[in-house]
Amino acid sequence: MVVIIFLVGLVLAGLLLTTWQVILVLRLLGRARHQHPVLAIGENPHCLESNGRFENERTEPLVSILKPLSGLEDEIEENLLSFSNLQGITHEIILSVADPDDPALDVIARIQARFSGSNFSVVIGGGGGTPNPKVERLVAAARRSRGQILFISDSNIRVSPGDIAATVAAFRDPEVGCVSNLFIGDGARTLGAMIESLHLISFVLPGCVFANWAGVPCLVGKSMAISREAYLAIGGFEAFGNVLAEDQAMAIAIKRAGYKLELSSTGVRNVIVGRSLRGALGRQVRWNKIRYAFSKLAYTSEFLVNPLPLSLLLCAGSCLLKPSALHGVLVLAAATSAVRFLQVLILMRTTMLRSNWRQALLAPLQDLLQFAAQFSAYFSNEVNWRGHRARLGRGSAMLMPESQAPPGALGPTPT
């Protein structure tokens, strides 16, 4: 009976935590709509407003938008085109690729031919050969940048014209060193893409908002900005070339340097169209191992924000240990599934995600897959990211993978 009561407590705690996360998201986006009546992810207003919130462009700092590119992401041309009509900021866009034969360069050439007066520039190669290929691209782009604000944007991110101006407005507080955007998956057409989008909206988005509320550094670098002062204070991108989670490592360094981290209520879209289920789960496993490398305790506590699998464990435990309680725990499991469906549906509607209730019905499947994938970090610290393999040490430090190391060279697995 003690085991059953313990599991019931975990399920109820999980329902309370996930409900509080949804409330925090509603509060954050609700404040944004109060300031801008139509503001939501992907639905930002024109940022050159008559009320003076955004002043003449010439008074605003130059924003250097750095985009590391590698290969052809889903709808990459449309993603890049969304940066061709930015409003409310003075900016430059630096596209950074490693290989002169990268197919993304053909896409860039088409955009430059279409917009002959565009401020897209391209960096090929360079970066110093750091172990993290994304950091290498950022290093190469940053060397050409001139802006007082560096805005990092992944190749699968799509924005509305006023998104970046609304985001960098936070730097009017001189204590702010870094601002990050909320982001949601959009455009899913396959089961894997739907599962990945559900993971973003049911776990990643509310988790980021919850961490921000709790004052815990949490940064997913798909769409983020850093002031030049904070960038120099933490040693630039070069200081993070040997870690896989350069975004989270930067967040910790920025806070230690005395700057504030802000989570913008302005959101962007992470375009995911044709992901395979294996690819979606592989990304979850990699992110799991990264979070585990930063804090094992915090990572383990994440099981609490996934109450549906816990409720099914409760059912199994009741069958084995307390059959007389099975009816009650089955009702709790059904209620948990219904609550999770409603939570995801509310998040979809709040962020104006172009999905429907049928996709939200996959939320229980996503929760179960996430639960299974979460155990991977306890058994392996090796990751494979776009063909780059590494073992993760503390703080996601990238170590030589076991398959490439000479016998006896690695020693014990780092903790």
**Same domain membership, residue 379 and residue 280:** no
CATH number for the domain spanning 145: value is 3.90.550.10
- pLDDT greater than 80 at residue 284: yes
**Same domain membership, residue 345 and residue 287:** no
**Same domain membership, residue 373 and residue 243:** no
User: Residue 333: which domain range?
Assistant: 2-19+294-387
Average pLDDT over residues 266-292: 93
Task: Please give the pLDDT value at position 111.
Answer: 87
Sequence-ordered list of residues with C-beta below 8 angstroms from that of 276, at least 6 positions apart, any chain: 190, 192
Sequence-ordered list of residues with C-beta below 8 angstroms from that of 284, at least 6 positions apart, any chain: 196, 199, 369, 370, 373
**Same domain membership, residue 135 and residue 233:** yes
**Same domain membership, residue 198 and residue 303:** no
Q: Tokens 């197919």 sit at which residue?
A: 103
**Same domain membership, residue 226 and residue 127:** yes
**Same domain membership, residue 238 and residue 356:** no
What DSSP string describes 63-108?
EEEEEE--S--TTHHHHHHTTTT--SSEEEEEEEES-TT-THHHHH
Alpha carbons 89 and 62: distance in angstroms, whole number:
7
**CA distances in angstroms from 128 to 22, 71, 131, 138, 242, listed in the order given:** 42, 20, 9, 11, 12
Which of 258, 307, 329 is CA-nearest to residue 5? 329
Rg for the chain (alpha carbons), in Å?
22
Q: Tokens 């019931």 sit at which residue?
A: 8
pTM value is: 0.87
**Same domain membership, residue 329 and residue 259:** no
Q: How confident is the model at residue 55 (pLDDT cuts 50, 70, 90)?
A: very low
Q: Tokens 């630096």 sit at which residue?
A: 94
Alpha carbons 210 and 218: distance in angstroms, whole number:
9
Higher pLDDT pick, 326 / 19: 19
Could you tell me if residue 408 is inside a domain?
A: no
**Same domain membership, residue 348 and residue 267:** no
**CA distances in angstroms from 15 to 214, 288, 368, listed in the order given:** 18, 21, 15
Sheet arrangement for strand 382-385: 382-385, 388-392, 398-399
**Same domain membership, residue 255 and residue 233:** yes
**Same domain membership, residue 310 and residue 258:** no
- Domains: count for the chain: 2
pLDDT digits (tens, 9 = 90+) for 145-196: 999 999 999 999 999 999 999 999 999 999 999 999 999 998 889 999 999 9
